Structure 1
Amino acid sequence: MLSATHNSRQVVVDSHARYFGAALNDQLVPQGNSRIGSTRFENWLNRSIA
């Protein structure tokens, strides 16, 4: 995303960083029922930088 918008800031990885104050785990999907959408990354990216 940064390079797509010509942003030269460097991304710094911090495995102990919190997300809005919450500690996250390695799970990327919600537990239980989830909704699967049809948005593709390229479409999302094009809308995000428009």
Structure 2
Amino acid sequence: MEEQQAKFGFTQFAENWNGRLAMIGFVAGLITEYVTGKGILSQLGLM
């Protein structure tokens, strides 16, 4: 009998993509902060 892999939850594939997208988001936040001269919280109006 073949073993089926889970399509939902904490799979290696999902975790790899989650990490990659988190890194892209972090770098985008740093670039936005550098270009505007404001922190992310001040851009959102929270500070």
Higher helix share: 2
Note whether the superposition's TM-score is higher than 0.5: no
TM-score range, shorter chain: under 0.3
Structure with more relative contact order (C-alpha pairs < 8 Å, separation 6 or more): 1
The TM-score normalised by the length of structure 1 is 0.20
